[in-house]
Structures are given as C-alpha cells and as structure tokens.
Chain A
Amino acid sequence: MDRFKQIDKIVKLLLIKRERALTEHEQETLNDWVNESEGNHALYDDLMDETKIPRKLDDLVQFDQQKAFREFERVAKQTKVRKLYRNAFKYAAILIPFVIASWLIIQQNREVKETPIATVVSEIGPGSSKAILKLADGSVVDLEVKKDLIADLDGIVVQNGPKEILYSSQETPQKHEEIQYNEIQIPRGGEYLLILSDSTKVWLNSETSIKYPVAFASNVREVYLQNGEAFFDVKKNKNSPFIVHTSKMAINVLGTSFNIRAYSDEPELTTTLITGKVSIKQLDSDQSSNLLPNQQASLSATGIAIKNVDVNKYIAWKNGRILFEDNTLEEIFKDLSRWYDIDVEFKKPASRQLRFSVDVERYENLSQVLDILELTKKADFNIVENTIIVN
C-alpha cells in the first residue's frame, strides 16, 4: 500500500505541473523520481507531451465501461437476491414501514406533478473560487486570474492555487520587527480557502473580508474578520493563543475548529463550535462566555445567548452543501443571493416567513434549488435577469 502512496504523489505532482509552476519543494520531489532511472525520465517526457493525451484517451474509450457495468449488474443482482432471500424474514419486518412511507411519498409527488409549476427559463450557475488579495503596500491582486502567483513576503512564501491561497514560512519563525497585514475580500458568488503561515486553515464564504498578518507575532495570533462568514481550523499552539476579532466581539482559542458568521447586514453574530474550546468576549463589556463543542453563541442587541445546536447545518457551506432545516424563505434567500449573486424580490411580504427545508449540492445551478422549493407548492418563482421574484 505504501508503494501506492508514492505513485499517487508522483501523479499529483505531474498533474499540478500541467496547471502551474511547482514550488521548490515539489520540484525537488519530482526531480528525485525523474532522476531515479532512465525509465522514469523517459516516462516523464512522455507524460508531459500533451499531444499523446488524445491517443491514450482513445485507447481508454475502447473499453466499454457501460456495457461491462450492465453485465456486472446482472450478475450482482443474482447474488444479492440469494442473500436477501436468506434474510427475508428479518428484512420484511424492517422494510414494511419504509414501503408504506415511500408509497405515501409517491402519492404526494404524483399530486405535485399534476399541478403546473412556473418554469425557470435561464440557468444561474453557482459561485466559484474567487478572491481579491490586498497586500501590505496597498496593491491589489485578483486571485481568480493570477492562479500561479508565487511571492516571497519577508521570508514567507505566498502561493495561490486553484481554490486556495497558502502562506508558508520556510524557516523557523523569527521576530519580525513590524507586522505586515494582508487582506482578502471574497465577492458575492465566491469562496476561497486561506491557509495562514501557522498552517491554520480558514474557509471563506461569499461576501467576506478578513485581515491577517503575513507572519504572526511570536506570542499571539490575531486576525480580523471584518465582515462575512468563515470556518476556522486553528493549528494548536499553547504558547500563542489565536484570537479572531469581529466588529462586536473577540473569540479566543487555543486549537480548535469553529464557524463564525458575522455579516454586517444581519442582526445576529453567531459562533458555532465544532471541536475544542473557545471563549467569547463582547466588546465594550466585561462579559465573556465559554463555548463547548456543539454549542452556538449568538450575539444580538440583547447580549450573548448560548444554545446547543446541530453543527452540520452551520458548516454545510464549507462541506459543499446548501442545507436548511425549517428556515424562513427570507433567511434562505439571504444565503442564496450571496452564493449565486442574485437579488430577491418578495411580491407579498407574508411569503418571507414561509418555512422550508432544503438539502442540495452547493455547486448545482440555482434552478435545482428553486425546483425543490417549488415542489412544496408553497411558493413559485420567476427569474428576471438576475432577480428572483417570489410570487
């Protein structure tokens, strides 16, 4: 199995090399392999020759996987039937409620299908990896365009990839005289992964901006979430606490993962803890509260409230899903408008408070999400340019 690890590593490096320049370390690893033998060298030259790809793909297509799969399916079903029969009694007891439930669902769906629903004309695609980087000297880089950006900032190497930007310190951290700050802004319809110089990972959602030091001071790590939503997976370091500052509170952590939602146009600011322990301190107040895993702190005009929550709902965005459970249409469209970069217009104010549950892939087109909402028959939608009109 370890042999395959090496194989995977080389293949990944070869694939990356097609996309961007390799870092020094990556290039060294690849060179070691290339120089191992003449055969490796010849293979390397072959694989880097793009004109060979179409012929090789032709070879692969010859093997008809669909036909082979159909054959497999036939054989597999026979074996499964035998196994099922053996346990028929056991299965029947388990299955009956499901059969009844699915019959009910089918009946319901049938009704839905008979009623005409508004058709969605144009496709609106999901968001993607987009970000603007502001350097300490004020200059600005569009990370979506500069995919192969590599820069050296004061001993810290900054490297941009397809979906992430990575700060890495090559040598042991030294005292930097003056802390240099960079800033990332995610537009509507964007997301990005930021990996800080201490290896802390920060997933950034649409319409978010964060300011952070290129290299951290030795005794404390401080970042500033100025607006938006971010998921933090903080690298443990007992000697250097990690503090996230937002407009209204500061979150102090030692090594843990959590989600902060701090949009300036929303009344509440929430922190949801997944693992570890954090303490939250409200600005202009001495009140500070500790949070345990699966708890959420909401800060509103009335102060901090702590409750137990199902964290999956709050970090679904980071896991590539759009997940709502019994949320109002207003809440749902607030998120959708950020990710799909759309505007929303409610024809009747009452429909803002309708409640829905949704669970779909974040990278689906908007129409998929609207279809699910329309299935409930409680609402239907029209799309005019980039505005969704809720009837």
Chain B
Amino acid sequence: MEKGANILELINQKRIDGYKYLYANFYPSLCSFASSFFKQNDLVEDIVQDVFIRLWRSDSKFNSTRALKSYLYFSVKNACLNSIRDNSKLSDIDFSSDKEIQTIVLEDKSIEQLLIEEEFYRQIHVAIEKLSPERKRIILLSLEGFSNKEIAEELDISINTVKSLKLRAYSVLRKELSWSVLLFLIKMMK
C-alpha cells in the first residue's frame, strides 16, 4: 500500500520516475490487451504509447491505484475502438449495428474476461521479472512441466542446484505476490 501510494503521488505530480514504474509494470500488458483488438504489434504499441503521453499532458489525478489502472486499460480500449472505426478494414468487428461497446465479443471473450486474463498474467510477469535470469529460467522450465532432473540436464547443472535455485525463486515470487494478497485479505475483513 505504501509503495502504491508513493507511485500514485509520483504519477499525480508528473514525475518521470513514476512513469518509469508504469512502463515496467503496465506497458507489456496494455499492449497485449490492445492486441486482442487487432494483431499488428507496431500499431498496438503506438496506441499504448499515445495513452501514456496523453496521461502525461493531462491534469488527471488519481486517488487509488485501481483508478489509475482502470484509466489505463479503458483508455487503451477506447483508443483501439476509435482506431478500428477510423480504419475499419483492419478488423472484422462490425460497427454498423452500433452495439454497446461492453457487449463486443473479441475472440469469444468479454472485456471483463480479457481484463482478468491480462491482470492475472501481468502480476505474475512483474513478479517473475524481478528474479535473476538463472532463477527465471528455472521457474519457466518448471512451469512448462519439466522435472528437476530434466531441468538439470537442460541447463547442465546439478539437480541439487536446480532444487535450491527453485526454492529461492519461489520464495522471492511468493514475497512479491503475497504483499498484494495480504492487503486484499485485510480489506476483505472490513
């Protein structure tokens, strides 16, 4: 929470270091979210970049990280839909019926489902990015279903090294992820 509050202040005061944090934490996930609307990566990155620059130039202030997060995702969504409207050949979404935006279904997923998916992977991504390259590699291999023995062979290290690297990596991950989870538990009780 402390950390969250500080970041918010940095963002509200238009401080570059606050934006550095925003990029590291949100840029890839916002791009991935935008690419649900169309598949051209360069266009997607332009849209997200534009959202950040507009935020920088605006007078928007946020009183919670959720408000900020909500602003980012929904700005990206709106920018995507506008862009599709302008170049309707890029996408096969049909705007002629002028349906409510909320009901647009992308790859059979609703906006809510997309956001849950992106947020879930975003938090794991941010936590894993904090690991050393070695630990990161081991975690990814083990998530893919490789056994300790297979990982040891793949990386040409001893099975005990794999075990201890994995243990350390998981404890770091847990530390990263647990803070938000802990705050959540406390909030649930109120």
Please indicate whether A and B come from the same complex rather than being unrelated chains: yes
* A contact residues vs B (CB 8 Å cutoff): 1, 3-12, 14-16, 19, 39-40, 43, 46-47, 50-51, 53-54, 56-57, 59-63, 65-66, 68-69, 71-73, 75-77, 79-80, 128, 161-164, 166, 168, 193, 195, 199, 201, 319-320
Interface residue? B101 (CB, 8 A) = no
Contacts of A56 on B, CB cut-off 8 Å?
121, 125
Output the least CB separation between A30 and chain B (Å).
Answer: 11
Task: Check B109 for interface membership: any CB of A closer than 8 A.
Answer: yes
Q: A1 and B67 in contact (CB under 8 A), knowing A11-B119, A79-B57?
A: yes
**Bound Cα distance A73, B22 (Å):** 12
**5 smallest beta-carbon distances between A and B, as pairs:** A162-B178, A65-B27, A60-B28, A63-B31, A69-B23
A263 to chain B, nearest CB (A): 25
- Closest A residue, CB atoms, query B22: A69
Q: Which residues of A contact B125 (CB under 8 A)?
A: 56-57, 60
Q: With A19-B178, A69-B27, A162-B182 known to touch, is A57 a contact of B16 (CB < 8 Å)?
A: no
Is residue B94 contacting chain A, with contact meaning CB distance below 8 A? no
A43 to B143, CA, bound (A): 18
Contacts beyond the supplied A60-B29, A65-B27, A161-B182: 8 A-B pairs with Cβ under 8 Å = A12-B181, A51-B143, A53-B124, A53-B143, A63-B41, A68-B45, A69-B20, A76-B56
Q: How far, in angstroms, from A168 to B32 measured CA to CA in the complex?
A: 40
Nearest Cβ distance between residue B84 and chain A, in whole angstroms? 20
Residues of B within 8 A of A65 (CB): 23-24, 27-28
**Chain B, interface residues (CB within 8 Å), range:** 35 or more
A195 touches B49 (CB 8 A): no
Chain A residue with Cβ nearest B136 = A57
Given A53-B143, A59-B32, A76-B16, A19:B174 Cβ within 8 A? yes
Set of chain A residues within 8 Å of B145, measured between Cβ atoms: 50-51
Q: Give min CB distance, A182 to chain B, whole Å.
A: 19
Closest chain B residue to A26 by CB distance? B188
